[in-house]
Amino acid sequence: MEWTRESRYKKYSEWDAETLLKLQAQATASKYQMSYHIRPQSGLLNDPNGFSYFNDEYHVFYQSYPFGAVHGLKSWVHLTSPDLVHWKNLGLAINADTKYDSHGAYSGSARVIDDKLFLMYTGNHRSKEWVRYPYQIGAIMDKDNNITKLDKPMIEPVDHITEHFRDPQLLKHRDEYFVILGAQDAETKTGKISLFRSKDLKNWQDLGYLDFTEEEMGYMVECPNLVFVDDQPVLIFCPQGLDKKVADYENIYPNMYIVGSDIRLDKAKFNTNQKALLNLDDGFDVYATQAFNAPNGKAYAISWIGLPDISYPTDSENWANCLSQVKELSIVDGELYQRPVPAMASLREEGTLVRSEEVFDGQQIVHSAASKHYELKLDLAAGQNGKLFLAANKDLSQGIEINFSTADDAFLTVDRSKAGIPFAEDYGTTRTIALPANKQLSLDIFVDGSVCEIFVNNGRHTLTLRFFAPDGNNKIAFTSDKKLQYTGTYWNMKNI
């Protein structure tokens, strides 16, 4: 169908239920579907929202448009989990049903306050003339997961910010609440992180913009997110239109981070010794990552696997995107690490040991017929060069190609140009990271339908990508000039 402004913003009550049931069946039946990642029941999923721990379980919500693979009228869908791996989809949680969120219940955060989960999000309202008004809205969830929106917006539009003013993260420091928001400055039309302060969650003081960089952050910053990792403040955000001289990135819009030395919210100051913004994920498809500090002292992050303004092959199946697995954050020797959470291991079926195979027909075969849903851990000895193929055909002319060296000029390149249906090729088909020279390389690779998450060297890097392989491309194999030395384990993964 042709998507018009009218059809995208049609109320859910104006869609018919048969259409929805068919869209749900279509999404579920897709051969590209994920089985251990959070995925849309139908239509489009984008940002994770309200990632939190409350009432003895983890909560996450996602931005949902259930009627197609387009950014239409957004709502929040709610999921809960005991372990950050097994998620229960509780369905529609925040619908666009008030004046203030009439054109979408956009992204936001959650925080436990007084035995309730306080949700704060952006209500998108448009006038008849289609002028956008962003309202920052509060809502309270009780222990039965009932959500009540506050009558009035917590923060109204402000003069010094354009209509691009969204994605509130509610923070607390001592006796005060703070909110950081993505913003576009009205005068300069540049990307900013807006900051507000309140003692009572009602009266909010505009503290201007957070001072976190001297560089210009393009024309907009989305999804600012502050989290403490091993006691250091880490600012995660998505600058749009960022000059590539400021920071290196290849995706249409990057999801970046800065590790801070200290933060003074009351002074609107985030200090850092980090020289440049860094990509949170070195792959192709991570955006809008949301992290929070859990009561167990750990920092957890979850990402949208998907990017704004990119068409994905499943658009033709009327669904798109998924969330990443949850990643535990830590700082080791000043570097941010992202690792799978321990409960991911509970998804493993019985493992198969992987060892250096004899070279046959130029290949060392790891698995001749892998499932579509697996984890593969590999340790590759130092001083080698080769290629690892995932989701490959017999002669390895198709597949995800992971080119690596563990010798002097150590690197790893993921090439998805021959992995299946092409998409997003304007933003390149390879991603490369540098590796420490002459060191063993450790890979922890998660494949789930059409998602691949690669954890490099125990979480020092992550590379995330979507791929859409032809049926039967299920070989895992190495090629190299000479026999490669490696060991590892392969597990089929259970559904969540």
Residue nearer to a copy of itself on the CB measure, 80 or 274: 80
Alpha carbons within 13 A on the beta-carbon side of 490:
20
Selected range binding a copy of itself among 12-20, 221-229, 376-384, 458-466, rule: CB under 8 A: 12-20
Q: How far is the CB of 23 from a copy of itself (least distance, A)?
A: 9
Asked if 495 interacts with a copy of itself (CB under 8 A), we say yes
C-alpha R_g of the chain? 22
Q: Decide if residue 276 touches a copy of itself (CB under 8 A).
A: no
Q: CA-CA distance, 484 to 456, in Å (whole number)?
A: 18
Closer CB to a copy of itself, 116 or 269, in the complex: 116
Cβ(59)–Cβ(110) below 8 Å: yes
The residue (of 25 and 434) whose beta carbon lies closer to a copy of itself is: 25
Q: Does 17 help bind a copy of itself (rule: CB under 8 A)?
A: yes
Q: Can 47 be counted among the known catalytic residues? A: yes
- Stretch of 23-31, 379-387, 389-397, 433-441 contacting a copy of itself, by CB under 8 A: 23-31
Question: Whole-angstrom distance between the N-terminal and C-terminal Cα of the chain?
Answer: 32
Burial 401-423 (b: 16+ CB within 10 A, else e): bbbbbbeeebebebbbebbbeeb
> CA-CA distance, 304 to 312, in Å (whole number)?
14
> Which residue among 16, 47, 114, 230 is the active-site one?
47
In the set 2, 6, 14, 333, which binds a copy of itself (CB under 8 A)?
14
Q: Which is nearer to a copy of itself, 90 or 332 (CB)?
A: 90
Of 7, 8, 9, 19, which one interacts with a copy of itself (CB under 8 A)? 19
| Closest C-alpha among 460, 467, 369, 364 to residue 412 | 460
Residue type at position 53: Y
Q: How far is CA 327 from CA 230, 305, 337, 454, in A?
A: 15, 13, 9, 12
Size of the site for a copy of itself (CB under 8 A): 30
Using the rule CB under 8 A, give the single segment among 15-23, 351-359, 364-372, 483-491 that binds a copy of itself.
Answer: 15-23
Pick one of 2, 4, 6, 13: the residue that binds a copy of itself (CB under 8 A).
13
Q: Does 93 bind a copy of itself (CB under 8 A)?
A: yes
CB-CB contact of 248 with 218 (8 Å) = no
If you search the block for the tokens 């169908």, which residue do you land on? 1
- 21 sits near a copy of itself (criterion: CB under 8 A): yes
Positions touching a copy of itself (CB under 8 A) are 11-22, 24-25, 28-29, 66-67, 78, 86, 88-93, 95, 144-145, 495
Question: Among all residues, which ones are annotated catalytic?
Answer: 47
